[in-house]
Amino acid sequence: MAKYVMALDAGTTSNRCILFNEKGEMCSVAQKEFTQYFPKPGWVEHDANEIWSTQLGVAVEAISMIGARAEDIAAIGITNQRETTIVWDKETGEPVYHAIVWQCRRTAEYCDSLKEKGLVDTFRAKTGLVIDAYFSGTKLKWILDNVEGARERAERGELLFGTVETWLIWKLTKGKVHVTDYSNASRTMMFNINTLTWDDEILAELNIPKSMLPEAKPSSCVYGESDPQFFGGIIPIGGAAGDQQAALFGQTCFNAGEAKNTYGTGCFMLMNTGEKPVFSKNGLVTTIAWGLDGKVNYALEGSIFVAGAAIQWLRDELKLIDSAQDSEYMANKVKDTNGCYVVPAFTGLGAPHWDQYARGTLVGITRGVNKYHIIRATLDSLCYQVNDVLQAMRADSGIQLAALKVDGGASANNYLMQTQADIIDAPVNRPQCVETTAMGAAYLAGLAVGYWANKEEVIKNWAIDKTFTPEISEEKRNTMINGWNKAVKYSYGWSKDE
């Protein structure tokens, strides 16, 4: 029997490959960052060819690190930064433009025009989403409208669209397979989450030729095989899911009412709502969690655009820290933020505010505020944003979570996790393996090929590392949250007149 399942985790700032064994243990890990392009304020792009070459590179590295062969790998599972939009030529495989990243705000005004046409309820009912530049649909329209010749070529059937998993599967199969999974399709603002089909009315509104779109399939199913050129033999590609839905699966939140929060570049809280979509009244979006065993699970999601990215900003732009890990030590050098607040609305605000024009702000500065206070306030901003989303989730679902399951790169930060427990006034549970995104993709792929027999087998692999319990008084919590509520308002609408 094959020894491993290979997860390809194509994140926003880096690509990773992890080989998992049957017990869900990480047997080999390789990771590489890739270039971020910021061509204009609020715009974010990646080079799709670099996404592919980096992803293939780490896969080959992870395999060779433990001397594995293709036949040792039961299946490949893919998980990815969602919404990021790639258009390429069907024949040459060349992207016609850089990948437009989920964080990119270039279509904010066009989104406003859709709202002004009174389409908010239509989009919500069909796609589960709010109209926002975050999602793929308007990014795809932008490419067709702005790249010379793209619309004509698309109408002639020469171009293909995909989010990152579609692109990677297409590359891995050398152009044989053009698919997406339901969880990724549900982030495009073009997919009807009730009928599980591309929505003709929306495609007409956005003027998108249907022939460009991939076939939408369940998240756990064999889409095709990787070409033998890449790993010295064929490997079935057995699963794909957006990274946040994969993390929900990796955290084994299989039942309605179970939730997780992932602290990566952004921060995303998802609650499984079972086999029926629940539509939010409090600024959350409805999304497909996964398609598995002939059924579809839905989730409520609170999407926070900037979380770990704010720590990168402290490191790369302000140069206040040498590494993201240092933020913990630095934050602990002071007992509070000395009254200052950071609102990292660098690419607008997502849930529950949904302000495309919000921009970052630093308020409450007095003469005594030093770099440690600013670092601490930046970490705290993640906790406040998560609290805003958690309150919305409580209101929508009526469920008071007994504890919050966390994961993602920044969940390693103990200061951050303790403050999170303090602010939400509930325990925070961190599992031993915080690579739940990759783990979820591995589970979906492994289940498709029988490497794991069923979900019950994988539940056994979840184990806790540490629980953080609330330690501050209600009075202190309220004071901190009131300050945040005041601060966040200063970020609203900042770039509207530019």
Ligand X SMILES: O=P(O)(O)OC[C@H](O)CO
Ligand Y SMILES: Nc1ncnc2c1ncn2[C@@H]1O[C@H](COP(=O)(O)OP(=O)(O)O)[C@@H](O)[C@H]1O
CB of 165 to ligand X, least distance (A): 11
The residue with tokens 């397979």 is 177
Please name the residue ranges forming H helices in 157-276.
164-172, 182-185, 200-206, 228-231, 243-250
Asked if 14 touches ligand Y (CB under 6 A), the answer is yes
Strands (E), 327-367: 341-343, 361-363
Beta strands 73-80; 4-10: pairing state = parallel
Interacting partner of 82 out of ligand Y, ligand X, none (Cβ under 5 to 8 A depending on kind): ligand X
DSSP H or E stretch at residue 10: strand 4-10
Asked if 81 touches ligand X (CB under 6 A), the answer is yes
Known binder of ligand: residue 408? Answer: no
Task: Name beta bridge partners: 215.
Answer: 179
Asked if 265 touches ligand Y (CB under 6 A), the answer is yes
Asked if 83 touches ligand X (CB under 6 A), the answer is yes
Integer Cα distance of 381 and 104 in angstroms: 21
Nearer to ligand X, 83 or 258 (CB): 83
**Single-letter amino acid, residue 180:** T
Interacting partner of 14 out of ligand Y, ligand X, none (Cβ under 5 to 8 A depending on kind): ligand Y
Known binder of ligand: residue 308? Answer: yes
Please name the residue ranges forming H helices in 92-199.
108-116, 120-127, 136-146, 150-155, 164-172, 182-185
Asked if 338 touches ligand X (CB under 6 A), the answer is no
CB of 467 to ligand X, least distance (A): 23
Asked if 163 touches ligand Y (CB under 6 A), the answer is no
Exactly one of 266, 277, 291, 302 binds ligand X (CB under 6 A); that residue is 266
Q: Residue 226 is encoded by which pair of tokens?
A: 């990787």
Question: Are 375 and 313 a contacting pair, CB within 8 Å?
Answer: no
Interacting partner of 412 out of ligand X, ligand Y, none (Cβ under 5 to 8 A depending on kind): ligand Y
Interacting partner of 352 out of ligand Y, ligand X, none (Cβ under 5 to 8 A depending on kind): none
In 3-state terms, what secondary structure has residue 355? strand
Exactly one of 412, 455, 472, 477 binds ligand Y (CB under 6 A); that residue is 412
Exactly one of 2, 4, 5, 12 binds ligand X (CB under 6 A); that residue is 12
Question: Are 253 and 260 a contacting pair, CB within 8 Å?
Answer: yes
Nearer to ligand X, 81 or 280 (CB): 81
Integer Cα distance of 454 and 120 in angstroms: 39
Nearer to ligand X, 74 or 108 (CB): 108
Site for ligand X in 469-498 (CB under 6 A): none
CB of 15 to ligand Y, least distance (A): 9
229: left (phi over 0), alpha (psi -120 to 50) or beta: alpha
DSSP H or E stretch at residue 377: helix 371-397
Residue 315 phi/psi, 5° resolution? -80, -50
Which residues lie below 8 Å from residue 338, measured CB to CB, with a gap of 6+?
366, 368, 369, 370, 373
CB of 320 to ligand Y, least distance (A): 13
Known binder of ligand: residue 255? Answer: no
Known binder of ligand: residue 24? Answer: no
Exactly one of 165, 181, 243, 435 binds ligand X (CB under 6 A); that residue is 243
Asked if 220 touches ligand X (CB under 6 A), the answer is no
Exactly one of 77, 95, 238, 242 binds ligand X (CB under 6 A); that residue is 242
Task: Return the range that interacts with ligand Y (CB under 6 A); candidates 12-20, 67-75, 211-219, 476-484.
Answer: 12-20
Contacts with ligand Y by CB under 6 A lie at 11-14, 264-265, 308-309, 311-312, 324-325, 327-328, 408-410, 412-413, 416
Contacts with ligand X by CB under 6 A lie at 11-12, 81-83, 102, 242-244, 264-266, 303
